[in-house]
Amino acid sequence: MVKHLDDNFFLVRFDRLTPAEKKYLRAMAELGPGPHRSGDIASQLGVRVESVAPRRSGLISKGMVYSPAHGDTAFTVPLFDDFLRREMR
């Protein structure tokens, strides 16, 4: 069941993203269960917080993440962080 979801649900969405967006989501997954502060994601990426705003906006527009509170980011799709951690192995 997990393999089927990975291949036919999660991967389809992940493949539509830019390399920078994929890197942003991987950083979120590495931080563990969210939501995550934009500053924490930027730190995980090793960049300034201002530089991640365009990626975050793009991911919100694509429906991959949302902002449950000002400055916070969370996955819209349940278990997507688990999928990313499996992919990073």
pLDDT per residue over 22-38, tens digit each? 999 999 999 998 899 99
Which whole number is the average pLDDT over 67-82? Answer: 95
Average pLDDT of the residues in 70-83 = 95
Which CATH number covers residue 32?
1.10.10.10
Number of separate domains in the chain: 1
Percent of the chain beyond pLDDT 90? 85
Indicate the SS3 state at residue 37.
strand
Q: Where are the alpha helices (DSSP H) in the chain?
A: 2-5, 11-14, 19-31, 38-45, 49-61, 80-88
Per the structure block, which two tokens stand in for 4? 């089927």
Bridge partners, 72 (sequence order): 37
**What is the extent of the structural domain holding 36?**
2-88
